[in-house]
Structures are given as C-alpha cells and as structure tokens.
Amino acid sequence: MLSLKSPAKINLFLRVIGRRPDGYHELASLFQTIDLHDTISFIEADKDVLRCNDPSLATTEANLVARARQLFKQKTGIERFFSIHLEKQIPMQAGLGGGSSNAATTLWALNQLCGRPASEMELASWGSELGSDVSFFLSTGTAYCTGRGEILQSFPSLEQQNLLIVKPSQGLSTPQVYGKLDFSQLNPQDPKAALASFFLGNPLYFNDLEIPAFQVMPELATLKEKLVGLGFSTVLMSGSGSSFFCLGEGNVSDLSGLQMFPTCYINRKPGHWY
Ligand code: C5P
C-alpha cells in the first residue's frame, strides 16, 4: 500500500497572454505547491475501485483519479488493478488545483507501484493530456508554467511565507471566468521580468483572472477589500478562484462564513514525493 499527499497550488503571479486557436489561453504563471493537501491511498487489487470521503465528488470514470489510472495503463501497457481511496480536504472550484493534483499524484503512485517504468518527465507529459495544470504537480513544486500551463521550468524553493488560504462558500467555474476576460484589461507586466524579480527578492503578485472572476462573483471584490483591511501584506486570488491566498500577518478573528487554511509552501526532491 502507498499513501501519498496530494498538495494544492497557488499562482504567485498569473498573466494571460492571449486566446489560442484551440480555445485555451496562453499563460505565463509562477506556480507553487502548498501544504494544504488531500491524501490518496493506493493498493493493488483484483479489480479497479475508487472511493472518496466526499459524496459530492463522483467516483465514476470521469473522475481525474480514474482517468489518470486509465491513462497510466494505456501508456505503459501494464494490466494491473488498483483500489484507490481519495480523502479530500482541498476545496473544489477554488483555483487550488485539487483535481489536477489528484491526477498527478495517481500517475506518480502507480509508476512507483509498477517499478517506475516512466521518468518524471514522461509522467508530466502524460499529465498534460488530463488537464492544463496536471504537469505542474510533477515538477518539484516551484515552476514557471507557460503554454496552456503545461510547459514547465522548475525553480528552487522560495523563502517560506506566513500563508493563509481563504475560501468563500461559493466556488467558481474556470471556463466561466475565462469567458469574462477582457483583453484590454490585462496586466501590462512582462512575465519574464516578474519572474526575475521574484528570484531577486522583489516579488510581484498579480493575477489577470481576478477582474473576470470579480465580474462573475462581485462579492469576491468585497472579500478581497476586507482581507486587505485586516493587515495582510498581499491578498491575491489563486488561479481562476474563488479562493485567495494571504501573505503576512492579518487579524482574522472577526471573519465568519469562510473556510480558512493556515499553511505553507512545500517542495519535493526529485525521486521523492511531497
Ligand atoms: O485544462 P483544463 O481541463 O484544466 O481546463 C479547464 C478549462 O479552463 C478549459 O476548458 C478552458 O475553458 C480553461 N482554460 C483555458 N486556458 C488554459 C487553461 C484552462 O482557457 N490555459
């Protein structure tokens, strides 16, 4: 049996470069894995099973864990069966990459259990067939991602931060947020300059998906203002929302109706999982 963390991510900055002919958007984003995580257990069995502690998440073949298991078998030609238990903690529709992380963790786990027929780079490339963010979770935890998000450049770990994830009860649909993008309102920041600035100790936090997300859910703009007023040094929506990450110190004692997760950055070493 193998039991693994399946970590969430945040986007420290996210630039949308433009729309692509395939309907996706060209991105440039610095991704970071965080210690807020689901837990997935894998055991070899005589048939494929998938169970989940959260009844709202379908455990059919459409589930990203089941799709990753299927893809692994198809790519490797290995005919073995696995019983998988998914313990969810990462909120869904939050911009935290929970489903993508679950898919990446499944590819990693099955590869371990089958004697590592694939390299980490192959797993990352297979992952991109399951979703734009899946490859990132096969990086070592800090990566500059371009293309749909699947082209990775790994970076060394960043300095640890006091990090709080705040998630309102309502979630957001990623395609709906992208659908509201106004290309005249994108951040003019050069993402390569932003990246260099990060590693020179002058981080710049921005997310081109905040404005369209605030249009879909206007309460999010109010929540951001409220969080900024609590004293945090940075408050930024993660991915396509609806969660925010807050850096620094803030007094959250009066906040109600929100899920809050104090957490930190995590990274992994090549050859090891989180
Ligand atoms: O790749 P994934 O299935 O995670 O993407 C979910 C949705 O997010 C896509 O259907 C698309 O609407 C949007 N998306 C996008 N451009 C990206 C990544 C995602 O438009 N680079």
For 12-60, the pLDDT digits (tens) are: 999 999 999 999 999 999 999 999 999 999 999 999 999 999 999 999 9
- C-alpha 63/C-alpha 161 separation (Å) is 33
Measured from the CB, is residue 209 less than 6 Å from ligand 1? no
Ligand 1 pocket, residue 174 CB under 6 Å? yes
Stretch 3-17: mean pLDDT, rounded?
A: 98
Indicate if ligand 1 lies below 6 Å from the C-beta of 94.
no
User: 26 CA distance to ligand 1 centroid (A)?
Assistant: 10
> What local confidence, expressed as pLDDT, does residue 188 receive?
86
Distance 254 CA to ligand 1 centre (A): 35
CA of 167 to the centre of ligand 1 (A): 21
Mind telling me the catalytic residues? 9, 133
Residue 144 has pLDDT above 90, yes or no: yes
Query: Quick one: which of 158, 171, 165, 210 has its CA closest to 187?
Result: 210
Q: Are 142 and 158 in contact (CB under 8 A)?
A: yes
Distance CA 213, CA 167 (A): 14
Model pLDDT, residue 87: 98
Rg (C-alpha) for the chain, rounded Å, is 18
* Closest ligand 1 atom, residue 175 Cα: 12
Amino acid at 141: G
Q: pLDDT tens digit string along 90-108?
A: 999 999 999 999 999 999 9
* DSSP 8-state secondary structure symbol assigned to residue 137: G
Query: Model pTM greater than 0.85?
Result: yes
